[in-house]
Amino acid sequence: MTMVVKGDVTGTGEIEASDARAVLRHVAKLDELKGEFFAAADLNGDGDVDASAARMILRYVAGLEKSL
């Protein structure tokens, strides 16, 4: 069983700036997030992934958000 950690889009077990980068690549259609990676990027659970998720991840990395 795989646990989906919200914000850990790359599946490394850590929430980092590279996760925001992966979200932006998805938004720009350079990459496509699928399955658990998409679920990890869908922070608000609305079935869509947009740039606001990347912003939230960067805020979390910067310590401005306590959780995602």
Q: By CB under 5 A, name the binding residues for Ca ion.
A: 8, 10, 12, 19
Instruction: Tell me whether residue 14 or residue 48 sits nearer to Ca ion (CB atom).
Output: 14
Is the CB of 21 or the CB of 50 nearer to Ca ion?
A: 21
Task: Tell me how far CA of residue 53 lies from CA of 13, 14, 16, in angstroms.
Answer: 17, 16, 13
Smallest separation, CB 57 to Ca ion (Å):
9
Minimum distance, C-beta of residue 13 to Ca ion, in the bound complex (Å): 7
What number of helices (H) and strands (E) belong to the chain?
3, 0
Output the smallest distance, CB 20 to Ca ion, in A. 10
Between 8 and 42, CB nearer to Ca ion: 8
CA distance 23 to 1: 23
**Best CA proximity match to 43, nearest among 33, 32, 56:** 56
